[in-house]
Structure 1
Amino acid sequence: MRLIWFRNDLRLSDNPALRHGCASDEPVAALFIISPTQWRQHKMAPIRQRFILAQVDELGRELAALGIQLHLLRVETFAEVPAALADLCRELGVTQLYANQAIELDEQRRDHAVTAALAEQEVSCHWLNGCCVLPPGRVLTGGREMFKVFTPFSRAWLKALDEDGFVIHRAPAPRGEPLPWQPLAERASVDEGIGELTPDPRWPVGEAEALRRLHAFLDQGVLDYGETRDFPALAGTSILSPYLAAGIVSPRQCVAALQQRLGGRPQSKAQPGFVWLNELIWREFYRHLLVLIPTLSMNRPFKPETAALPWSWDPDAFAAWCEGRTGYPIVDAAMRCLNATGWMHNRLRMIVASFLTKDLHIHWRLGEDYFMSQLIDGDLAANNGGWQWAAGTGADAAPYFRVFNPTTQGQRFDPQGEFIRTWVSELADLPATHVHQPHNWLRLKGRQDYPAPMVDHAVARVRAIEMFRDLEKQ
C-alpha cells in the first residue's frame, strides 16, 4: 500500500506526490491531517482554516471518484504526528509514503521525525517538490550558494528554468470503482474547536475555480497588470494568492498558462506579462530564503543586526492600527477591508506595513502575526518576506530612509477615493478633493466621527530614519 499525504498541495493536477504515488499498480490511499492546536499556534486565520477544510472536502470527493480513499486524522500538534502516522501506516499496511516537501522549519522538523518513526517499521518516505517551480537549492550563485538578493536570483531562476523546463502532469486515472465520501460537515470530530466549517462565499474552492480565475486574469488582465496592479479600486490583480497558498493551483501551472497565453515565456520587463511572472519569482525567492535561513521561521530578522532596533510594543497604538482607527484614510480602509474579507491588495499591504513600522515604530512581528491571523492567503514565506521588506530588516528591503507617506500613497493609488469610501463609512460622503485629508473638511462640518491622525507623519518619518542611523553607529 502507498500512502499520499496531502498538505499545502490540495489538488489532483500537477501534484508530484500524487503522481509518483500512483505510478504503480499497488493500492493507494490518501491522507490529510487536521491540526487545530498547531494551526492556532501558527496564527492561522479562521477564514483560512475554513477555506482549507472546504478544499479538503472537495479533494476527498474527487479522490473518492477515482477510487482513492482520503483518510482524515485529527492530530492536535506536529509533535504527535509521527506516532499517529505510524499507527495509520501499520493499520493500512503502508510500505511507502509520498508527500510534497515542506519549507517551514516546524514542518521540516515534523517531517524528519516522521521519516525516523516510519523507518522503524520499514516504511520508505519520498519527499518531492510541489511548492516551487524550481526546488530550493536549484538556483545558485557562481559560488554554488543560494541567493540572498532578489535581482540576481530572478536572472538565475529564469536561466535555470530555461535549462530544466518542466511538465504539467494531469490528474491520475481512476484506480478502481468510485468510493463513498462522507462530507466533513457530517463528521463531528472535524469541526470541534474550529467552529463553523462553511467557507466564505467570496472564495469558492476547487481546482476548476482556481483555473477559471487564472485563465480569466490571463485573458483580461495580465497585459495591463504593470499599469493596474497598484490600484486597489481596480480589478487589476489575479486574486490567486489563496489558491496558491493552499496548493489548489501550482506555481508551475501559472507559469505554463502564462506561456501558453503569450506564446512564450517573457524574459525582461520590456516584454508583456513579465511583471506578473516576476511576482511569481518573488514568491519563489521568499520560499527559497526560508530554506536557506531557518531562523526566518523563528521570528528572527534577515539582517541580524536589526534585532537591536528599539521597536515599540504599544498595545493601544497597535489596536488602533488593527481596527483601522489611525486617522489615515488609506491605512484605515485597508485594515477594515482585511478584517471584513480576509484579503488585502498587495500595494495596501506595503502601505499599512510601512505605517506600522515606520510611523508607529511598532515591531514588524506584531504586524506579521496579525496578518496571519486574518489572511485567507496566509503564507509564512511571503508574509514574513513582505513584512521584513517593509520594516527594513529583510532581504532586498527598502532602504531605511525610504518611508511610505500614507497620504500621498492614497492620493496616488486611490486618486478618487473609491476604495477609501467603500471601506471607511465615515468618509463615504466626502468629495474626492478631501477624502485623503478629511479632517479640515469634517471640522468645518462640525463632525467628529473620524479619528484624528495618530501621529504626524513628517515627525514619525524622521524618528524612523534616526532609529536605523543610530543602529549603524553601534
Structure 2
Amino acid sequence: MSPTALVLFRRDLRLQDNPAWSAACAENARVLAVYIHAPEEEGQWAPGAASRWWLHHSLSRLDSRLRTAGGRLHVARGDTLEVVRELAGQTGATAVHWNRLYEPASIARDSTLKAALREQGLEAQSHSGALWSEPWQVETQQGGPYKVFTPYWRNLRPRLSAAPPLPAPSIAGFAQASNGLPLEALELLPRIDWAGGLADTWQPGEAGADEMLEIFADDAVNDYVRLRDLPARHGTSRLSPHLHFGEISPRQIHHELDRRARASSARSRPDIEPYLRQLGWRDFAHHLLFHFPHTPTESFNPRFARFRWADADPVLLERWQRGRTGIPLVDAGMRELWHTGWMHNRVRMVVASFLSKNLRQHWHHGARWFWDTLVDADLANNTLGWQWVAGTGADAAPYFRVFNPVTQSKKFDPDGSYLRRWLPELADAAASVVHEPWKDAGLLRRSGYPAPMVDLTASRQKALDAYARRG
C-alpha cells in the first residue's frame, strides 16, 4: 500500500460511486482531496456565471462531507501541474488519481499532466466516472463514430448494467497540506446577488442530487412519458445540473430506478426505458464532442459553412435574452432561465428554434447565452442541443422544421399555467388569448406586454427562403 495519494476533484463532486476516490482510498494509507481552480485551462469555455454559483455551493457541500469524515477539501488556484507537484512534495504523495473529462481542453490538459507526472516518477491514474461508456468504446461496424443516436443507443443499451454503484469508501487517514485557500478566495459567487432564484430552486451537492433522484423515482418516473413535455409540471428528473457536476452518476440513477422497478408489482411497475434513453443522449453528446471536437464553434454539417445567417442584432438578442419578444412561450422560457438557471427541455427547443430560425441569428449566440445562464451548462449537451434545433448538427431536426411557439404552447401548456407563472403581465389573460395576446390590443395596452417582435408566419418563410439559397 502506497503511503499517500492525491485525488483531483473536478466535476465529480461526490464520494459515492467515485472510481478515483475509491481507488485512492483502497490503495493508500492517506489521501488528500484536492480542487484546483484553473479557468485559464478551460479556455473560452471556462464556467459561466450560473455554473460558478453552483460550483461554489457544491464544493462547500463536498468539503463539509470530508470534514465530517475527519478531513477537508484542499482548495488551490493555478496551473494544475504546478499545484500537483507542490502538493506531492508537501505530502510525500506517490500517486495522483482523477476521473476523466472529455472536453477538448480537458483532454489536452490531462494528457500533459499524466505524462509529466509519470516522467517525475509518480503514479498517475485516470478513471471513468462520468459516463456509462467511454466515448471511444461504442463504434459502428466500420469502426468509426456514430452520427445518429438511434443506432448508437442500440449498441450502448445492451452494455449497460444496473449493478450496485460503488459505496463511499472507508478512509484510512487524511494527508495534510499547507497553503490551501478558503473557498471564497475563488470568487465564484456573483458580486451582485442576482442568484436568489437559483438558491430558491436548487440544492447543490451530493445530498441534493440524492433527494432529487428520490423525488423523481417516487413519483415522476411513473408518468414520465406523459408528463415530460409539460413545462408546468415537474415531469422530468431535473437531475441535469447534478449530473454535470458529478454529484450523482448515471450508474447510480440506473441502479436506483431499476431496483425500484423490480420491487414493484408487475401491474404498477414503471417503464424506466424512456428515461434511460434520454440519459443515453448525454453519452451520445460526449461521444460526438470527443470525435468531432470542432463542433462547439463550427456547424457539424459542412453544408452550413456558408449559410447566410442574419447579421447579429444586439437589440433582437437582448429582447430574446430578457424574455421580451412578445411570443409568450419564448418569453416564459427565457424568464424561467434567468430566474432559476434552468429551462424545461421542450421549451429549450422552442426558444432555440425561434432564435435560429424566426430571428435567423446564428446558433452561437444562443449557445453562449445558455452557457452563461444555465446551471447545467455542459459543453457536449449544449453543443448537441443547439446544433440539433438549428438543423446544423448530427442527427439534427431538419432546418426546415421550425417550431411554432403558439402551437407548442397550446399543445403542452393548454391552460396557460406555465405562461401565467413566468409572465405576470398575462396572469389574468383570458384562456382564448393567453397564447396569442396580440389578438387583444387592449390586453397589450393594459398589461404592458410587448407586441411580437416578428410575425411568426412571415419570419418562418424568410428562414425557409434562406435555407433554399444556402451554399
1:395 matched residue in structure 2? 394
1:5 matched residue in structure 2? 8
Once the two structures are TM-superposed, the CA of residue 9 in structure 1 deviates from its matched residue by 0.5
User: 272-281 or 208-217: which moved more?
Assistant: 208-217
User: 119-128 or 192-201: which moved more?
Assistant: 192-201
1:373 matched residue in structure 2? 372
1:72 matched residue in structure 2? 75
For 1:310, which of 305, 308, 311 is the aligned residue? Answer: 308
Once the two structures are TM-superposed, the CA of residue 249 in structure 1 deviates from its matched residue by 0.6
Secondary structure at the counterpart of residue 309 of structure 1: coil
Contact in 2 for aligned 1:61/1:181 (Cα 8 Å)? no
Alpha-carbon distance between aligned partners in 1 of 2:178 and 2:336, rounded to the nearest angstrom = 36
Once the two structures are TM-superposed, the CA of residue 444 in structure 1 deviates from its matched residue by 6.6
- The reply on whether 1:233 has 2:232 as its aligned counterpart is yes
Amino acid at match of 1:302: F
1:42 matched residue in structure 2? 45
1:171 matched residue in structure 2? 168
In structure 2, do the counterparts of structure 1 residues 181 and 255 end up closer, same or farther at CA, with 3 Å as the change threshold?
farther
1:59 matched residue in structure 2? 62
Alpha-carbon distance between aligned partners in 2 of 1:21 and 1:15, rounded to the nearest angstrom = 10
Once the two structures are TM-superposed, the CA of residue 25 in structure 1 deviates from its matched residue by 3.7
1:412 matched residue in structure 2? 411
Once the two structures are TM-superposed, the CA of residue 395 in structure 1 deviates from its matched residue by 1.2
Once the two structures are TM-superposed, the CA of residue 82 in structure 1 deviates from its matched residue by 2.1
Once the two structures are TM-superposed, the CA of residue 190 in structure 1 deviates from its matched residue by 3.0
1:339 matched residue in structure 2? 338
Once the two structures are TM-superposed, the CA of residue 331 in structure 1 deviates from its matched residue by 0.3
Alpha-carbon distance between aligned partners in 2 of 1:252 and 1:91, rounded to the nearest angstrom = 35
2:24 matched residue in structure 1? 21
1:161 matched residue in structure 2? 160
Amino acid at match of 1:288: H
Alpha-carbon distance between aligned partners in 2 of 1:212 and 1:369, rounded to the nearest angstrom = 30
In structure 2, do the counterparts of structure 1 residues 169 and 338 end up closer, same or farther at CA, with 3 Å as the change threshold?
same
Once the two structures are TM-superposed, the CA of residue 180 in structure 1 deviates from its matched residue by 12
Alpha-carbon distance between aligned partners in 2 of 1:339 and 1:310, rounded to the nearest angstrom = 29
Contact in 2 for aligned 1:102/1:108 (Cα 8 Å)? yes
- The reply on whether 1:285 has 2:281 as its aligned counterpart is no
Matches within 5 A, 1:291-306: 291-297=290-296, 299-306=297-304
Alpha-carbon distance between aligned partners in 1 of 2:218 and 2:189, rounded to the nearest angstrom = 42
Secondary structure at the counterpart of residue 204 of structure 1: coil
Contact in 2 for aligned 1:64/1:180 (Cα 8 Å)? no
Q: Deviations over 1:199-225 (max 9, x none)?
A: 724211332221121122112111211
Once the two structures are TM-superposed, the CA of residue 240 in structure 1 deviates from its matched residue by 0.9
Alpha-carbon distance between aligned partners in 2 of 1:174 and 1:96, rounded to the nearest angstrom = 16
Alpha-carbon distance between aligned partners in 2 of 1:93 and 1:4, rounded to the nearest angstrom = 14
Once the two structures are TM-superposed, the CA of residue 47 in structure 1 deviates from its matched residue by 2.9
User: 168-177 or 230-239: which moved more?
Assistant: 168-177
Amino acid at match of 1:363: H
In structure 2, do the counterparts of structure 1 residues 461 and 177 end up closer, same or farther at CA, with 3 Å as the change threshold?
closer
Contact in 1 for aligned 2:95/2:124 (Cα 8 Å)? yes
In structure 2, do the counterparts of structure 1 residues 402 and 42 end up closer, same or farther at CA, with 3 Å as the change threshold?
same
Alpha-carbon distance between aligned partners in 2 of 1:59 and 1:419, rounded to the nearest angstrom = 34
In structure 2, do the counterparts of structure 1 residues 92 and 247 end up closer, same or farther at CA, with 3 Å as the change threshold?
same
Secondary structure at the counterpart of residue 296 of structure 1: coil
Once the two structures are TM-superposed, the CA of residue 132 in structure 1 deviates from its matched residue by 0.3
In structure 2, do the counterparts of structure 1 residues 62 and 367 end up closer, same or farther at CA, with 3 Å as the change threshold?
same
Once the two structures are TM-superposed, the CA of residue 292 in structure 1 deviates from its matched residue by 1.2
Given the two structures, how large is their TM-score scaled by the length of structure 1?
0.90
Secondary structure at the counterpart of residue 263 of structure 1: helix
Matches within 5 A, 1:74-473: 74-75=77-78, 80-161=79-160, 166-176=163-173, 189-191=185-187, 195=191, 200-263=199-262, 272-297=271-296, 299-312=297-310, 313-443=312-442, 446-447=445-446, 449-471=448-470
Amino acid at match of 1:170: P
Q: Deviations over 1:70-114 (max 9, x none)?
A: 211112xxxx32223222222222221111111001111111221
Alpha-carbon distance between aligned partners in 2 of 1:179 and 1:386, rounded to the nearest angstrom = 43
Contact in 1 for aligned 2:60/2:183 (Cα 8 Å)? no
Contact in 1 for aligned 2:444/2:451 (Cα 8 Å)? no
In structure 2, do the counterparts of structure 1 residues 192 and 17 end up closer, same or farther at CA, with 3 Å as the change threshold?
closer
In structure 2, do the counterparts of structure 1 residues 262 and 458 end up closer, same or farther at CA, with 3 Å as the change threshold?
same
Q: Which runs of 5+ in 2 are unaligned?
A: none
Given the two structures, how large is their TM-score scaled by the length of structure 2?
0.91
Q: Deviations over 1:251-304 (max 9, x none)?
A: 111111121121299xxxx9812211111011111011111111124x112112
Contact in 2 for aligned 1:22/1:28 (Cα 8 Å)? yes
In structure 2, do the counterparts of structure 1 residues 206 and 232 end up closer, same or farther at CA, with 3 Å as the change threshold?
same
Alpha-carbon distance between aligned partners in 2 of 1:219 and 1:271, rounded to the nearest angstrom = 10
Superposed CA RMSD in Å reads: 2.7
Contact in 2 for aligned 1:303/1:394 (Cα 8 Å)? yes
User: 326-335 or 120-129: which moved more?
Assistant: 120-129
Q: Percent identity?
A: 39
Once the two structures are TM-superposed, the CA of residue 448 in structure 1 deviates from its matched residue by 6.7
Alpha-carbon distance between aligned partners in 1 of 2:183 and 2:227, rounded to the nearest angstrom = 44
In structure 2, do the counterparts of structure 1 residues 441 and 183 end up closer, same or farther at CA, with 3 Å as the change threshold?
farther
Once the two structures are TM-superposed, the CA of residue 127 in structure 1 deviates from its matched residue by 1.2
